[in-house]
């Protein structure tokens, strides 16, 4: 168990390190001349050289990478080119806003999708199963901005049930703020529902056909106590992995949804930085997203290890 966790931790750090290299390569090496790309093609060569020297982007790539990584380890995410101030406060502020949106999404979709998966699994092959499986699968492939637009048109413009904007004036109550997050969260909920429900359903079908379920039934246990005592616990384990894996998608979906609803989260921060060629901001944002994903994967692994008695014994 201990060795398994150490191994998992080491692999995560390796992944993070590779990720930082990819982000660095994309953010600092691919653009080539950073000063030129900021000042434009018409700028004077001396001005470009001066800016590159000032930004430290005239150093050899390996040195630039080490400087960047060293500063990051000290909590210094660098200076934004666009705002001429440290990147970190922007990241933290945006992260808090995205976390709120992600929380509303998760709190809505996880119980809903698990319930959907359980209902589909219990009705294996009958119409509720088909509606949930096919409907869920179709929704997972519709891009967020597409379902977002349709939801805005129906619930925001036509029925006028929900506010179109995700932003609230300062001093708005928590409940009202929450109401503003419903419409932005819905496109993410629609996509995640299908994935999570499908795995929950597959887990249910498998657990319902397993030997231990038959044994429990033959022991004379009622349907209810078989399902709650034996089936659910085993059926939902794989679902946790899928929920963690979907965190990666969720973080990407935020870029689109936050843009559509003009919400100042980490996704729209990355996009704004990308559009404005604010490389330090973009790199810090992307690395934060990657870190969030890797952390959620590790937490999911630990949860599964804690819940599955087979993992507790010796460890694989």
Partner 1 sequence: MLKRLAAPGFVTGLGIVLFWVLCALFGPWLEPQNPYADDLMNALAPPSAAHWFGTDQIGRDIFSRIIAGARPILSVAPAATLLATLCGTTLGLITGYAGGWVDALLSRLIEVILALPLIVVALLVLVALGPSSLNVTVVIALVFTPIIARTVRAAVLAECKLDYVPAAQLRHEGALHIMFVEILPNILPPILVEVTVRLGYAIFTVASLSFLGFGVQPPSPDWGLAIAENYGLIVGGYGWTVGFAALATASLVVGVNMVAEGLQDALR
Q: Rg for the chain (alpha carbons), in Å?
A: 24
Interacting residue with partner 1 among 243, 260, 269, 281 (CB under 8 A): 260
Residue 40, phi-psi category: left (phi > 0), alpha (psi -120 to 50), beta (remainder)? left
Closer to partner 1 by Cβ: residue 35 or 234: 35
Q: Is 142 in the site for partner 1 (CB under 8 A)?
A: yes
List of residues 6+ apart from 149 with CB closer than 8 A? 260
* Stretch in the footprint of partner 1 (CB under 8 A) among 17-25, 106-114, 203-211, 300-308: 17-25
Q: What residues between 219 and 248 interact with partner 1 by CB under 8 A?
A: 248
CB distance 113 to 200 below 8 Å: yes
Binding-site member from 121, 184, 253, 280 for partner 1 (CB under 8 A): 253
Is residue 101 close enough to count as binding partner 1 by CB under 8 A?
no
| 234: nearest Cα among 223, 226, 242, 243 | 226
295 contacts partner 1 (rule: CB under 8 A): no
d(CA 264, CA 259): 8
Long-range contacts of 305-313 (CB under 8 A, 24+ apart): 305/1, 305/4, 305/5, 307/233, 307/237, 307/240, 308/237, 311/1, 311/4, 312/1
Q: For residues 118 and 245, what is the distance between their CA atoms, to the nearest angstrom?
A: 20
How far apart (Å, rounded) are the C-alpha atoms in residues 296 and 249? 12
Place of tokens 């809903």: 112
Binding of residue 149 to partner 1 (CB under 8 A): yes
With binding defined as CB under 8 A, does residue 202 bind partner 1? no
The interface region with partner 1, picked from 44-52, 87-95, 134-142, 175-183 by CB under 8 A, is 134-142
159 binds partner 1 (CB under 8 A): no
Nearest Cα neighbor of 301 from 252, 231, 250, 247 is: 247
Q: How far is the CB of 192 from partner 1 (least distance, A)?
A: 13
Query: Judged by CB under 8 A, does residue 144 bind partner 1?
Result: yes
101, 232, 251, 269: residue in contact with partner 1 (rule CB under 8 A): 251
What residue ranges bind partner 1 (CB under 8 A)?
A: 11, 14-15, 18-19, 22-23, 26-27, 30-31, 134, 137-138, 140-147, 149-150, 152-153, 156-158, 164, 248-249, 251-253, 255-256, 259-260, 270-271, 274-275, 277, 282, 286, 289-290, 293-294, 297
């Amino acid at each position: 168990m201990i060795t398994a966790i150490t191994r998992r931790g080491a692999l995560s750090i390796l992944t993070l390190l590779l990720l930082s290299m990819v982000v660095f390569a994309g953010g600092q090496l691919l653009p080539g001349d950073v000063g030129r790309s900021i000042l434009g093609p018409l700028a004077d060569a001396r001005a470009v050289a001066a800016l590159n020297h000032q930004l430290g982007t005239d150093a050899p790539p390996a040195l630039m990478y080490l400087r960047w990584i060293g500063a990051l380890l000290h909590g210094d995410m660098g200076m934004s080119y666009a705002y001429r101030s440290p990147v970190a406060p922007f990241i933290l502020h945006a992260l808090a806003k995205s976390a709120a949106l992600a929380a509303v999404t998760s709190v809505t979709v996880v119980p809903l999708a698990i319930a959907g998966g359980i209902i589909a699994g219990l009705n294996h092959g009958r119409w509720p199963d088909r509606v949930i499986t096919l409907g869920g699968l179709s929704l997972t492939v519709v891009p967020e901005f597409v379902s977002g637009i349709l939801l805005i048109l129906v619930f925001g413009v036509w029925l006028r049930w929900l506010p179109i904007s995700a932003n609230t004036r300062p001093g708005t109550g928590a409940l009202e703020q929450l109401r503003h997050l419903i419409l932005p969260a819905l496109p993410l909920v629609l996509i995640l529902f299908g994935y999570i429900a499908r795995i929950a359903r597959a887990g249910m079908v498998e657990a319902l056909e397993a030997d231990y379920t038959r044994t429990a039934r033959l022991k004379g246990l009622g349907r209810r106590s078989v399902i709650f005592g034996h089936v659910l616990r085993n059926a939902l384990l794989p679902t946790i992995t899928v929920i963690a894996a979907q965190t990666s998608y969720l973080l990407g979906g935020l870029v689109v949804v936050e843009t559509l609803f003009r919400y100042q989260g980490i996704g729209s921060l990355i996009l704004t930085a990308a559009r404005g060629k604010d490389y330090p901001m973009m790199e810090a944002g992307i690395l934060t997203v990657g870190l969030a994903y890797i952390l959620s994967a590790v937490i999911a692994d630990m949860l599964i290890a804690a819940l599955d008695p087979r993992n507790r014994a010796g460890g694989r």
